[in-house]
Chains A and B, each alone.
Chain A
Amino acid sequence: KQEVTQIPAALSVPEGENLVLNCSFTDSAIYNLQWFRQDPGKGLTSLLLIQSSQREQTSGRLNASLDKSSGRSTLYIAASQPGDSATYLCAVLSGSARQLTFGSGTQLTVLP
């Protein structure tokens, strides 16, 4: 059974810092990996999707990498802003039924 772990559980940084969020998964037979953002009390917003054949994806200040063989992904946020404060979730798509398995998230606070 696929398991996804995210560390750290919470992170607080001053504005302008670059930061890295980590995600690991136990079964490397994945179709893709997604990073989501969740604001308090709201639904999920998909940030980046990395297919299993890809190594990284970039969108603006965000860069996500994938090392499928080691079961790891990182989300790099450059020049963090207070508006980046949210919970970031990592999820992998795997299994014959193509299900998403989520990590428990990293709660990010960017201090002005």
Chain B
Amino acid sequence: SQTIHQWPATLVQPVGSPLSLECTVEGTSNPNLYWYRQAAGRGLQLLFYSVGIGQISSEVPQNLSASRPQDRQFILSSKKLLLSDSGFYLCAWSSPSKTQYFGPGTRLLVL
């Protein structure tokens, strides 16, 4: 069966510090991968999606970037965090045109 992992589960970072959140998927190959953010009191927003290694599409301009160095690894990064980057970050995977399955999420607090 397929599983999706995210780490860390919780992260507290100062403004201006770098960020790296990792997501890995097991039990499937060539998945579509997604990063979402849920800011406090707001709905989920798609940040990035990837249909293959090195292929990243960005949905909204922002302080963040994403990379996919391996087929089942998706990384969300920032060089300098802003207060507005605080939120709950969810990674998801899907086979093309199928339902998306979500990881447990990372709660990021930028102080």
Chain B residue with Cβ nearest A36: B102
A99 touches B44 (CB 8 A): no
B46 touches A100 (CB 8 A): yes
State in angstroms the CA–CA spacing of A45 and B100 once bound together.
10
Chain A residue with Cβ nearest B51: A97
A46 touches B101 (CB 8 A): yes
B99 touches A32 (CB 8 A): yes
Binding site secondary structure of chain A: strand
Interface size class of B (residues with CB under 8 A): 20 to 34
B97 touches A34 (CB 8 A): no
Number of interface residues of A (CB under 8 A): 24
State in angstroms the CA–CA spacing of A43 and B88 once bound together.
9
Chain A residue with Cβ nearest B57: A97
Is A112 an interface residue when CB atoms closer than 8 A count as contact? no
The verdict on A31 contacting B43 (CB below 8 Å), with A42-B104, A97-B57 known, is: no
Q: Which of B42, B46, B104 contacts A99 (CB 8 A)?
A: B46
Is B31 an interface residue when CB atoms closer than 8 A count as contact? no
Cβ contacts under 8 Å, A43 to chain B: 90, 102-105
Cβ contacts under 8 Å, B96 to chain A: 98
Cβ contacts under 8 Å, A42 to chain B: 104-105
**Which of A13-21, A61-69, A76-84, A101-109 is near enough to bind chain B?**
A101-109
Is B74 an interface residue when CB atoms closer than 8 A count as contact? no
Is A29 an interface residue when CB atoms closer than 8 A count as contact? no
Is A49 an interface residue when CB atoms closer than 8 A count as contact? yes
